[in-house]
Amino acid sequence: MMEDALKPKKRIFMALTSVSALIGAIMVYMVWRVTVPGLAQINWTLPIAFGVFSVIIVIALLTGVVGIVMALLGIPVMKLLFVWAWKAINILFPFAVVLGRIFNIPRERIEQSFIEVSNNLVLQHKVKVPAKRILILTPHCIQRDTCVHKITRNVENCRQCGGCCVGSMLALAHKYGCSFAVATGGTLARQMVKQARPKAIVAVACERDLTSGIQDVFPLPVLGVLNERPFGPCFNTRVDINKLEAAILTFMDDEEAKEKHAKTDQQAS
């Protein structure tokens, strides 16, 4: 069970965040030690107060890491600890990236690991929402560059010609009754999230955009699906439709999913 829960991808981020938390604890202790003489001269209670504050910070960081590990291992975690564990991820992520540079670990691998950890935390939380409150969100590079139909403001302009993945994604959105939006950048993506007011998001993007997007919309649950880049980054990208559908079904109630499937089968026949 432990080996399944902490696959190599997840282990990269967990190792870096654990080391970051440990280094952070050591630094807090060193700051306390250095400032004690000066604080004592002002008032004898200040070193004690600062010491208590420092202990709280250290315990909070370490508790967050422990909460993440417990959730990844499938151990039941109370909601408060779960929320704090997620916040600890966001706090420690920049430090994990710095450590990655020191150990010569590419940022892209750290981001992949972060997305894997984030997805697993969402899966462990077992979020279920109505299909109409699920938003499928993807960058505009998923559309074929030669297509003349503008879909960033209205995805229904797609002619579903099969030249790119947008038509298949739109078909999925229609099949399950989800919202679907294509954004030209982070600012527009945030606006679309604000307008749609979803309770869960299935996001398709590269490592960098998924990482920043997941952090931006917290505490909204997000399942990230990495895009495929046969022609390089940000150009005619693609997505595995089976993975996308699986992510949508993860958020949907089983009974609602069955009803949607039945309706689709009836319309097809």
CATH number, position 142: 3.40.50
Residue 77 is predicted with a pLDDT of 67
Residues 139 and 201 in one domain: yes
- Of the pLDDT bands very low, low, confident and very high (cuts 50, 70, 90), residue 133 is very high
Residues 116 and 149 in one domain: no
Rounded CA-CA distance 190/194 in Å is: 6
Residues 41 and 101 in one domain: yes
Residues 131 and 254 in one domain: yes
Residues 96 and 33 in one domain: yes
Residues 95 and 132 in one domain: no
Rounded CA-CA distance 218/247 in Å is: 18
Domain boundary among 95, 124, 153: 124
- Of the pLDDT bands very low, low, confident and very high (cuts 50, 70, 90), residue 264 is low
Half-sphere exposure of 38 (CA within 13 A, CB side): 6
Q: What is the DSSP letter of 155?
A: G
pLDDT at 66 over 90: no
Residues 15 and 140 in one domain: no
**In a 10 Å sphere around its CB, with 0-12 CB exposed, 13-18 middle and 19+ buried, how is residue 133 labelled?**
middle
Q: Which of 22-31, 67-76, 211-220 has the lowest mean pLDDT?
A: 67-76
Residues 208 and 163 in one domain: yes
Domain boundary among 96, 124, 152: 124
Residue 2 is predicted with a pLDDT of 32
Q: For residue 169, count other CB atoms closer than 10 A to its CB.
A: 25
Residue 224 · residue 115 · CB < 8 Å? yes
pTM: 0.82
- Which residue range forms the structural domain that includes residue 173? 127-268
Domain boundary among 73, 93, 124: 124
Residues 117 and 10 in one domain: yes
Q: Which of 53-57, 86-90, 151-155, 171-175 has the lowest mean pLDDT?
A: 86-90
Residues 170 and 55 in one domain: no
CA 105 to chain centre: 20
Residues 59 and 153 in one domain: no
Residues 60 and 189 in one domain: no
Residue 47 is predicted with a pLDDT of 84
Residue 140 · residue 251 · CB < 8 Å? no
How many structural domains compose the chain? 2
Give SS3 for 179.
strand
